[in-house]
Amino acid sequence: MKPVKSVLIMIAMRAEAREFIQALGLKQEENAFDEKLPMMAYSGKVEDLSVVVVLNGIDKRFDVDNVATQPAVLATYVGIQKFNPDLIINAGTAGGFKKADHEIGDAVVSCDTLKFHDRRIPLKGFDVYGIGSYPCIDMPDLTKELSLKQGIISTGNSLDCTPTDLEMIEKNGAEIKEMEAAGIAWVAWTLEKPFMAVKTISDFIDSHEPSEEQFIKNLAKATKNLSDTLVKIVHYLNWQGKQG
């Protein structure tokens, strides 16, 4: 991959993005997108590296963050069209497995491919299409330098996890369950843009405690670690860009 001079960071929720935006002093881009769209963009520079964060925005009917794959796909498309980044990163919180030795707040970088666990289409050809398996870039130097874990990410449109979902996640070989990454990876793959995801653990998949209760309890820790990790990543990308 060529040196990264500009990075587009896709984040679904305001709470997931707030600390990172403040840490880098990013400023909101007024009128970045069609006025009918809810997406919001924040931009700035880390020395030579241009950084843009695009949020999915707020649903005007329900007054909540636009989460899951539908808004993430649209936000990524308009973000690429507007900013034409060298690299796309999807950042956010996620569920992980205790049995994979994850801890609340751990940061995990995507590896192998991004997959879906809730698009079950038992027809020839459509079955593998439903799983997706969209590529992400391998960043061994970054993960080693920053001491970050790597894991396969599986995407679905629900916060909870049904037994069928769990079966598919394990079949996907995934350690991480979340709600946007594979959709964003599909857009990046379609438009031939390098992609990676970084997720911090907010809840355990293999826990008897409901996911929503864990998420609320652990959100502050997960978002703080997400911000810290993203700051380290953009500084690393800036340094790497200078070397190239």
Q: Which of 186, 184, 171, 221 is nearest to 71 (CA)?
A: 184
Q: What is the rounded distance in angstroms from the CA atom of residue 237 to the CA atom of residue 136?
A: 16
What confidence score (pLDDT) does residue 142 get? Answer: 93
Average pLDDT over residues 201-222: 94
For residue 210, the tally of other CB atoms under 10 A from its CB is 12
Average pLDDT over residues 179-186: 98
Would you say residue 1 has pLDDT above 80? no
- pLDDT bin (cut points 50, 70, 90) of residue 244 is low
What confidence score (pLDDT) does residue 73 get? Answer: 98
Q: Read off the pTM.
A: 0.96
- pLDDT bin (cut points 50, 70, 90) of residue 3 is confident
Q: How do residues 141-166 score in pLDDT, each as one tens digit?
A: 999 999 999 999 999 999 999 999 99
- pLDDT bin (cut points 50, 70, 90) of residue 241 is confident
| CB burial string 41-52: b at 16+ within 10 A, e below | bbbeebeebbbb
- pLDDT bin (cut points 50, 70, 90) of residue 191 is very high
| Percent of the chain's residues with pLDDT above 70 | 100
Alpha-helix runs per DSSP H in 103-210: 126-131, 140-145, 163-171, 181-190
Q: What are the chain's domains? A: 6-238 (3.40.50.1580)
For residue 157, the tally of other CB atoms under 10 A from its CB is 15
Average pLDDT over residues 198-223: 94
Report the mean per-residue pLDDT for the chain. Answer: 95
What is the bridge-based pairing of β-strands 40-46 and 49-55? antiparallel
Q: What is the rounded distance in angstroms from the CA atom of residue 186 to the CA atom of residue 170?
A: 21
What confidence score (pLDDT) does residue 178 get? Answer: 97
What confidence score (pLDDT) does residue 55 get? Answer: 98
What is the H or E stretch that residue 7 is in? strand 6-11
Q: How do residues 84-137 score in pLDDT, each as one tens digit?
A: 999 999 999 999 998 989 999 999 999 999 999 999 999 999 999 999 999 999
Q: What is the rounded distance in angstroms from the CA atom of residue 183 to the CA atom of residue 203?
A: 21
Can you say whether residue 133 is alpha, beta or left, with left for phi > 0 and alpha for psi between -120 and 50 degrees? Answer: left
- Would you name the residues annotated as active-site residues? 16, 203
